Amino acid sequence: MAFDQDLAAKIWNLLADQPQVRSQKMFGGFAIMVNGHMCCGVLKDALILRIGPVLYPELLKKKYVRPFDFTGKPLTGMVCVSPEGLKTTAALKKWVSVALGFVESLPPKPLIKKKRKDHG
């Protein structure tokens, strides 16, 4: 599944200086992980945000926001923002900061080290 790579690059530039940040493919799109937690990403042309259960009902009332429904069942605490809600850098920064604020409230996940395979 293709995703808006320009939007992904803009998000990465906003978060690249965060500690423990990395990107990965997720949901058939692009995700940014902060401290081991999914923070935000891009699926097709929409911004995906992990905002937690407290802000979820409030943010669903905002224009251009809808539940994140990848499997037929909305994921509580995650929303999509359509491209119309991301027309300015200020708007994108605002949305990403909401997700970052939630993820920073979570305890960091321990780094998982992959076992080395011996090929001897």
Cβ-in-10-Å burial (0-12, 13-18, 19+) of 64 comes to middle
pLDDT tens track for 29-52: 899 999 999 999 999 999 999 999
What's the order of all strands across the beta sheet hosting 46-50?
Answer: 21-26, 29-34, 37-43, 46-50, 78-81, 65-67
Domains of the chain: 5-104 (3.90.1150.30)
Q: What angle do CA 111, 109, 96 make, to 5 degrees?
A: 115
Which segments of the chain have a pLDDT < 70? 1, 111-120
Taking the model in full, what pTM does it have? 0.86
pLDDT at 114: 47
